[in-house]
Amino acid sequence: MARDLMFQAEIKQAVRQAYAAISSGGGATVARRLYSEQELAEVPSGAVDWALGVGNPVRYAPLRPGETALDVGSGAGIDTILAARRTGPAGRAVGLDPLEEMCERGRRHAAKAGVEGWTEFVRGEMEDIPLPDESVDVVLSNGVLNLSARKSRALAEILRVLRPGGRICMADLTVEGELPPEVANDQSAWAG
């Protein structure tokens, strides 16, 4: 049986529903596995509680003051806020997420962190990023590319918005080998 038999629209819908339905993130226990105490102290507790990532892309970026960072699939904003702390007010941090409720959480957390002046959360998808060509220095992403049924398209969009010499720093899940069809075609496996 061929893999990936689900239609792209169904995968997108399943992912959206899954993230719209959750009422909390991984919590501080999960966040402590990915971020240092010092990094966690840089973000409000709400953003820590809502951490849903699989790594710590900001740590490895590394971001410089004045740069523009884009956090693809920003969720409630933990990495966007960490990025904003590093770009400083001379730079800009943009979180991108298709769910308005995630963007709202990000805005609230950015305001609590005091970085709202140079941080924004934009509703949109990684497959169609609502930013101009060559407008970003660093693209960050934490546990998001794996959710796309159109990964090549998402990567092409990321390359489009990056300035020449720009960087991508991404933490994600990868699959080695073939997934059994009952997993590849399972909606909760795609979203989870």
Ligand X SMILES: C[S@@+](CC[C@H](N)C(=O)[O-])C[C@H]1O[C@@H](n2cnc3c(N)ncnc32)[C@H](O)[C@@H]1O
**Binding-site ranges for ligand X (CB under 6 A):** 15, 19, 51-53, 72-75, 78-79, 96-99, 102, 125-127, 142-144, 147-148
Closest approach of ligand X to the CB of residue 40, in Å: 13
Closest approach of ligand X to the CB of residue 78, in Å: 5
- Could you tell me the two tokens for 72? 């693809």
Closest approach of ligand X to the CB of residue 128, in Å: 9
Nearer to ligand X, 68 or 74 (CB): 74
Q: Any residues with CB less than 8 A from the CB of 169 and at least 6 apart, and which?
A: 57, 58, 60, 61, 138, 139, 140, 141
Closest approach of ligand X to the CB of residue 1, in Å: 26
Nearer to ligand X, 98 or 166 (CB): 98
How many angstroms separate the most distant Cα atoms in the chain?
53
Nearer to ligand X, 47 or 166 (CB): 47
Q: Which residues pair with 142 in a beta bridge?
A: 171
- Could you tell me the two tokens for 163? 């300035």
Nearer to ligand X, 128 or 134 (CB): 128
**Three-state DSSP state, 53:** coil
- Could you tell me the two tokens for 9? 């629209």
